[in-house]
Structure 1
């Protein structure tokens, strides 16, 4: 039998990671409130399901947006026929307008620079293909999304060099860390072609402030390397400070930058909760990259039917304005209640204002300050607590004990069960974590939690538009 290719038989896809192992544990025993009440709850999927009712109501009122309705069927032939690599003009215009709206209309995007791809996964690979040769390297601040090891590396042969960021300054990107990573790459005889930053950050749920972004732009300009801004969580910022895009920074007075070095990856998978639509976007200020990426888009075009629906939806100003406001409100409430609930049993997390997850600090639960101890704890959480959370080591975090936990991919009842499992586990295994003023007697605390869970299950508060409002942090919005 003829051998398969080295790429096909290698480990480049990165599935030998705890991040993917957690998914497999969930898939073999998924939680269901009736059929599998003891199953694994999926908290490793960064998915936004909080606005589905809002979107569904719009679709009901606008059946013409879908080709699968009597009102939209007249567009069927037009969209079923061949579309060129540029995509439908109305689709590109709508996406460009939405990108600007998400950024407060402080910057405008040119529809002619919108290039389609099959989700952010395809967009990242396309950019890597355009900018680097096999063996070249990109710098990536840690912790970073595990999928980058697949998206940028697997088929392109590109290397990733971590920029080590520390919890002591909330994992902020510093010039010192950037320079250290750049030197490390040179010592390894790697040619650095670019820097990839995720803003808002996955997994941190934080945004890059204006000064940090200016330093990043200054760094890549001095080194004459590319800057890829992954901004796929731009519309998930749910409280101040506001999101600042790289596109805003390069237009500011006094900022020197070769715009040919600037590229943005975007998608509708996170901001709108449409990962199944596979809408990825490459937006580059470099004409040659736009041209090359458009040729490559033939390998991952967005279907015409999806383009038609998205164009109809995002061209509706009322929908976009109301969606952004609704999503922000629901994410704010869910995040506040989730972090408040964890704090009741002494679990803290990195202060964040964006994303669909928190960066949970379980360092106090480690047997020792090692990655081996982190994996031991993770296996207990997966196999005994039955929660798929992702260990920090899978995000290349250089400090053991951090875990990413997603909070927006489940309904209120499932979240209540997940929180109860976490509380029960912490109380059982490390009672000392609970602050003395909240400890009292374990039995009374368990009774209090039990009563609160009864309250959570009350039908009167289970509206998807008012998730879990009894937390004082939810009611007293600041």
Structure 2
């Protein structure tokens, strides 16, 4: 008696990414009340700079109390507002976005659509750009939630662009073309490419070559580019962040290609300001039809008037935002270095990163075999025996087993120290149990895989590397 949508399992809730969360919620770590509980390292949340936000709120009681010049605006904010959003808030948002990009690009508030978080923004773009059964290409590894955000209600398909550790998972022209041809063989019409920049889960910014590959591909195939840039303010190390808008401007693309009308940016304040609970997301597009349609659709998930009022006041304080951005980036780098150093002491390496709230961690040498089954087994041991919820690479559709996303900004420094110590003990015991000979053999296999991966994986079929539990 229910709809197919209500009864189907295409949401992706059975992914190990979500299953790990469920186990954490049953047994959450607490330094006093539950010291043997599971530490949540699967949540990309920024809690490192709350004191800066709270300090601003304490000094700006009018904004927090919904007052303007000492007089209440509660009634004004509580009554009906249309879905176009407050002009003052949109003006501050485009100014903030430009600031994060070093004012190398400017944004027009009339081309910005507000909505309740980047989850809604990405889904609405799918509704605007593609029909059910059409496809978007996504480079792997990618954020596990995209299987829900892009596909579940829209019916749009995802075709992976298989990237390899042999070149640090960078996007290549060859990988783009191979993904496109794979979609063609599956009778899927490709409508565009979606990338996260900085990358989730890699924690790295796209370089100029990758951006140029994307631009050339979009021009050649006449498809869209969606650039999810929700981590743009978390770049804490070189190289600097290059927005897709800046890359297009520098490339001096021929206007006759109409590429600008096929470039769309998703942004939110969830990561850069650490305010996921405020549900502030947005789409920025030069395409008037997309802006008009997305604005109408945004009525299903608006940003509250009270939130817009408070944050427009916060963002208008330029001295505060400058201080916040700089200090937050400093703290993220310090915390990331702490995790990398701790993992290194345990004999575990990380991919080089310069942004984000997580590290892409290489645990391939801890696998009993070079398979996704072995990765799942290792993940379960780390979750249930070690008490750490981390995200296995298979949940991110990584084409190589043994990689994990590990978050570092959603906990206290003391909790991170506990997590690192647990990993060290586990790595030591695992190494001792497996023996030097076995480790040497696995490293040899891994090195062989590196040399072969760029040839093997791109020609693999669409579902070859789906995790066993998806």
What's the TM-score once normalised by structure 2's chain length?
0.90
Q: Would the aligned equivalents of 1:345 and 1:433 in 2 still touch at CA under 8 Å?
A: no
Q: Would the aligned equivalents of 1:67 and 1:73 in 2 still touch at CA under 8 Å?
A: no
2:2 matched residue in structure 1: 4
Corresponding residue SS for 2:250: coil
Q: CA deviation at 1:254?
A: 3.0
1:425 matched residue in structure 2: 426
Cα separation, 2, equivalents of 1:90 and 1:337: 40
**Does 250-259 or 157-166 show the bigger shift?**
250-259
2:398 matched residue in structure 1: 397
Q: CA deviation at 1:431?
A: 4.3
Cα separation, 2, equivalents of 1:254 and 1:46: 35
Q: CA deviation at 1:253?
A: 4.8
Q: Would the aligned equivalents of 2:66 and 2:310 in 1 still touch at CA under 8 Å?
A: no
Equivalent of 1:243 in 241, 244, 250: 241
1:446 matched residue in structure 2: none
1:51 matched residue in structure 2: 49
Cα separation, 2, equivalents of 1:392 and 1:99: 31
Q: Would the aligned equivalents of 1:382 and 1:389 in 2 still touch at CA under 8 Å?
A: yes
Q: Would the aligned equivalents of 1:102 and 1:234 in 2 still touch at CA under 8 Å?
A: yes
Cα separation, 1, equivalents of 2:336 and 2:279: 26
Q: Does 1:252 align with 2:221?
A: no
Equivalent of 2:152 in 151, 154, 164: 154
Q: Would you say how many aligned residue pairs link Structure 1 and Structure 2?
A: 433
Corresponding residue SS for 1:264: strand
Q: Does 1:262 align with 2:260?
A: no
Cα separation, 1, equivalents of 2:116 and 2:7: 23
Q: Would the aligned equivalents of 1:346 and 1:434 in 2 still touch at CA under 8 Å?
A: no
Q: Would the aligned equivalents of 1:199 and 1:230 in 2 still touch at CA under 8 Å?
A: yes
What's the TM-score once normalised by structure 1's chain length?
0.89
Q: Does 1:283 align with 2:284?
A: yes
Q: CA deviation at 1:255?
A: 3.0
Q: CA deviation at 1:153?
A: 0.5
1:470 matched residue in structure 2: none
1:41 matched residue in structure 2: 39
1:405-457 CA distance string (max 9 Å, x none):
0000001111111111111111111149999xxxxxxxxxxxxxxxxxxxxxx
**Does 68-77 or 232-241 show the bigger shift?**
68-77
1:409 matched residue in structure 2: 410
Corresponding residue SS for 2:398: coil
1:74-130 CA distance string (max 9 Å, x none):
111111111111100111001111110111111111111110111110000000000
1:166 matched residue in structure 2: 164
Q: CA deviation at 1:72?
A: 6.3
Q: How does 1:10-409 map to 2 (within 5 A)?
A: 10-67=8-65, 74-256=72-254, 258-409=259-410
Cα separation, 2, equivalents of 1:430 and 1:416: 21
Q: Would the aligned equivalents of 1:214 and 1:255 in 2 still touch at CA under 8 Å?
A: no
Q: CA deviation at 1:40?
A: 0.4
Unaligned runs of 5+ in 1: 436-478
Q: What root-mean-square deviation, in Å, do the aligned CA atoms of Structure 1 and Structure 2 show?
A: 1.5
Q: CA deviation at 1:36?
A: 0.7
Cα separation, 2, equivalents of 1:60 and 1:291: 38
Cα separation, 1, equivalents of 2:278 and 2:71: 20
Q: CA deviation at 1:221?
A: 1.2
When residues 72 and 26 of structure 1 are mapped into structure 2, their CA distance, relative to the original with a 3 A threshold, is farther
Q: Would the aligned equivalents of 1:344 and 1:434 in 2 still touch at CA under 8 Å?
A: no
Q: Would the aligned equivalents of 1:331 and 1:408 in 2 still touch at CA under 8 Å?
A: yes
1:106-164 CA distance string (max 9 Å, x none):
11111111101111100000000000010000000000001100001111100000000
Q: CA deviation at 1:251?
A: 1.5
Corresponding residue SS for 1:194: strand
Corresponding residue SS for 2:238: coil
1:230-254 CA distance string (max 9 Å, x none):
0000001001100000010121253
Cα separation, 2, equivalents of 1:271 and 1:285: 24
When residues 184 and 94 of structure 1 are mapped into structure 2, their CA distance, relative to the original with a 3 A threshold, is same
Corresponding residue SS for 1:239: coil
Cα separation, 2, equivalents of 1:179 and 1:93: 39
Corresponding residue SS for 1:195: strand
Q: Would the aligned equivalents of 2:67 and 2:73 in 1 still touch at CA under 8 Å?
A: no
When residues 320 and 432 of structure 1 are mapped into structure 2, their CA distance, relative to the original with a 3 A threshold, is farther
Q: Would the aligned equivalents of 2:237 and 2:355 in 1 still touch at CA under 8 Å?
A: yes
